[in-house]
Amino acid sequence: MDALALHREGNDWRLDLKGDWSLDRLPQIDRELDALSGPIEGSVVCDWSRAEHPGLGPVWALLTRLAELGAAQLDIRHEGNPPSSVQLLKKLQLEICTSQGKRTIAVPAREGAIGKLGRFTVQQGTEARGVLAFFGRIASVLGGSFARPRMLRLPSLARHIRETGVAAVPIASLIAFLISVVVAYLGAQQLTRFGASIFVVDLVTIAVLRELGVLLTAVIVAGRSGSAFAAEIGVMQLNQEIDALRAMGFNPIELLVVPRVLALIVALPCLTVIADAMGLAGGGLLCLIDLHIPLAQFTLRLREALSPTTFWAGLVKAPVFGLLIGMVGAYRGMQVRESARELGRLTTIAVVQSIFLVILADALFAVLFEKLDF
Amino acid sequence: MVEESARPIIRVQGLVNRFGRQVVHNELSLEVRPQEILGIVGGSGTGKTVLLRTILGLHRPQAGKIEVYGRDIQRLTPPERLAMDKSFGVTFQTGALISSLTVAENIQLPLREAYEISEDTLDDLVQLNLSLVGLAPDDAEKYPAQLSGGMIKRAALARALSLEPKLLFLDEPTSGLDPISASDFDALLLYLHDQLKLTVVMITHDLDSLFRTCNRVGVIVDGGMVSDTLAGILRNTNPWIHEYFHGPRAHGAEEAAQEEEAQRG
């Protein structure tokens, strides 16, 4: 059934409203109102006698559409037990009309390529300064802690070491084990063709100790703890908890950021040692099963393959990676403002950026070690 | 009127809510009658918000029966549940606007989900709901973080009204508002109640607001509910209720309410 019918009566118009006029029927009413074609001049009489349950929304849509069709001159009358809301809605409509007269809409100016480049440069500049200032604040807390060891917040540090380090042992071990098995397997396939299968030991041990152990662990920790730092601090930021801490005279950097960053600087080397051990175990196991190299021969070959610095070349990178991951996570968390979407966006950025920085730093280390012949 | 009050919109019977060993509600019963404004008060931690969440079906009670429009809300099929939810309007203590959407998008959210309506009409409905709660058309494009506390409460009310509910639940709608905004909110609520024939259940600690807007008051004491007309509650002899309504902070509010009553005739 149609919800409305418009017809002419002499010079005037008559609008019959029929059936259910509640919000549930708004989609149909909306379509029929759209189909009305103007202009309607003079006066229009809305007959409500056959309409049921008129809701605010549909009546509002009708009034708005009539105003569009007939401009200001149209004289609208309501007959046949019109809904009580008509008066209310007419008043609101009038208010909106008057307020819209005063309203100016600011259209943002389109910016060209140069404008975008400029904005980008300024953004990067402020961001770089922000990161530097953040690093400075962390450093100043660490410096101050020599004079006042209490600033280090040992209980909090211990909790974070447990959460970021001890809790990550199973996953870090498992991944290191599996990846070194895969590397050893691939190496074995290639090297046995030259009858050099014993060199699989060299391949696995050097790869695991120098690169894979520390790099994989750092990536796992970035995914686990970098995101957790950003999210925890971000939610505290949204709840004004950080403002509250500041107002109570705490330094949020000292209370929240330093324990987390320090925890990673401590936990990541420990995890790396464990990952290295598991990686070697994985390599040894594959050598035993696939290449039938007994464990005694594996360890013997291992000692020959490794120079004294190989292990340290991997391990020395771990605290640096920990610092990077911790700082990026905490920094992005501190940047969260206003909305839940910001929290998600910045947490994502924290993880992606910390993994990127870890790999970049790893590359720089590789160049450095090459020059130093380490 | 007698006939109407015989059939309550909400009937809660023998409600029990426990968290661990802490008993919040013990055999609590409550009736909400059509087109009344019921104020729910109680000390901190007496489970006002828990009661609201239980009626809304957001929290499952340990025991008790909750009927809304004569239907037991714990025995609804999912489609019935959805229809029931659509007939409620709810505002939460902190507004609970979706922070990543603008005010307009927040108001459109339930409408979009329920109906296929053109964008133009959705925009019109946003304007309607904004002007109903006294927000300016320009506020539609703002994000919740750009709004003041009072505006958040109004925007939340606009969203609650967007599906044209007959039943409105308000959790501390005037808390954190300055007296002028709170008083405006009361006036708005009375106006909407009068114009839209709403039934309102309102949790509040604001005695001014309570005296001005509520027809009936329910007080949660000792895990149960004492509900009566405002005059009846004021005469109640329970020590806590007496303290609440006759304490040092209550007199001003009561006098103001009586004055206003007298002015209205």
The more confident residue out of A99 and B186 is B186
Q: How is chain B split into domains, by residue range?
A: 2-87+165-264, 93-163
**In what helix (H) or strand (E) does residue A50 lie, and over which residues does it extend?**
strand A43-52
Assigned CATH topology for domain A4-100: Transcription Regulator spoIIAA (3.30.750)
Q: Where are the strands (E) in A64-173, listed by range?
A: 75-79
d(CA A131, CA A32): 58
Q: How is chain A split into domains, by residue range?
A: 4-100, 151-372
The CA distances from residue A181 to A97, A178, A204, A215, B250, in Å, are: 73, 5, 9, 16, 76
Structure tokens at A173: 């071990």
The 10s digit of each residue's pLDDT in B24-33 is 898 899 999 9
**Partner residues linked to B218 by β-bridges:** B40, B227
Subunit contact A339:B132, Cβ cutoff 8 A: no
Chain A: closest CA distance from residue B99 (Å): 5
Q: Where is average pLDDT lowest: A269-278, A308-317, B217-226, B252-261? A: B252-261
Rounded CA Rg of chain B: 19
What was the pLDDT predicted at B2? 42
Asked if the model's pLDDT at residue A213 lies above 60, the reply is: yes
Taking a C-beta distance cutoff of 8 angstroms, is the pair B69, B80 a contact? no
Which of A68-77, A313-322, B1-10 is predicted most confidently? Answer: A313-322
Q: Report helix, strand or coil for B82.
A: helix
Nearest Cα residue in chain B from A24: B115
Chain A: closest CA distance from residue B194 (Å): 10
Q: Where are the strands (E) in chain B, listed by range?
A: 10-19, 22-32, 37-42, 63-68, 71-72, 88-91, 167-171, 199-203, 216-221, 224-229
User: What DSSP state is assigned to residue B46?
Assistant: S
Nearest Cα residue in chain A from B132: A92
**CB-based contact, B121 to chain A, within 8 Å:** yes
Q: How, if at all, do strands A12-20 and A4-9 pair?
A: antiparallel
| Residue A135 phi, psi (nearest 5) | -60, -40
Q: How confident is the model at residue B6 (pLDDT cuts 50, 70, 90)?
A: low
Edge-first strand listing for the sheet containing B37-42: B88-91, B167-171, B199-203, B37-42, B216-221, B224-229
Structure tokens at A311: 């292990």
The 10s digit of each residue's pLDDT in A87-124 is 778 877 777 777 665 445 555 667 788 989 999 999 99
Subunit contact A100:B137, Cβ cutoff 8 A: yes
- Given CATH 3.40.190.10, say whether it is the number of domain B2-87+165-264: no
| Residue A144 phi, psi (nearest 5) | -65, -25
User: Once rounded to an integer, what is the mean pLDDT over residues B199-203?
Assistant: 92
Q: How, if at all, do strands B199-203 and B37-42 pair?
A: parallel
User: Which of B100, B128, B138 is facing A92, going by the closest CB pair?
Assistant: B128
**Chain A neighbors of B145, CB-CB under 8 A:** 337-339
User: Once rounded to an integer, what is the mean pLDDT over residues A366-372?
Assistant: 92
**Chain A neighbors of B190, CB-CB under 8 A:** none
What was the pLDDT predicted at A38? 67
Which residues, in sequence order, are CB contacts of B106 under 8 Å at separation 6+? B97, B98, B144, B155, B159
The more confident residue out of A10 and A280 is A280
Task: Say how many C-beta atoms besides its own lie within 10 A of residue A56's C-beta.
Answer: 23
Residue in this structure with the two tokens 């229009």, named with its chain if needed = A44
User: Once rounded to an integer, what is the mean pLDDT over residues A41-48?
Assistant: 82
Subunit contact B117:A26, Cβ cutoff 8 A: yes
**Chain B neighbors of A60, CB-CB under 8 A:** 124-125, 128
Chain B: closest CA distance from residue A26 (Å): 7
d(CA A15, CA A72): 18
Edge-first strand listing for the sheet containing A12-20: A4-9, A12-20, A43-52, A75-79
The 10s digit of each residue's pLDDT in A164-195 is 999 999 999 999 999 999 999 999 999 999 98
User: Which of A22, A56, A342 is facing B128, going by the closest CB pair?
Assistant: A56
Taking a C-beta distance cutoff of 8 angstroms, is the pair A283, A184 a contact? yes
The CA distances from residue A101 to A95, A228, B186, B251, in Å, are: 10, 50, 29, 45
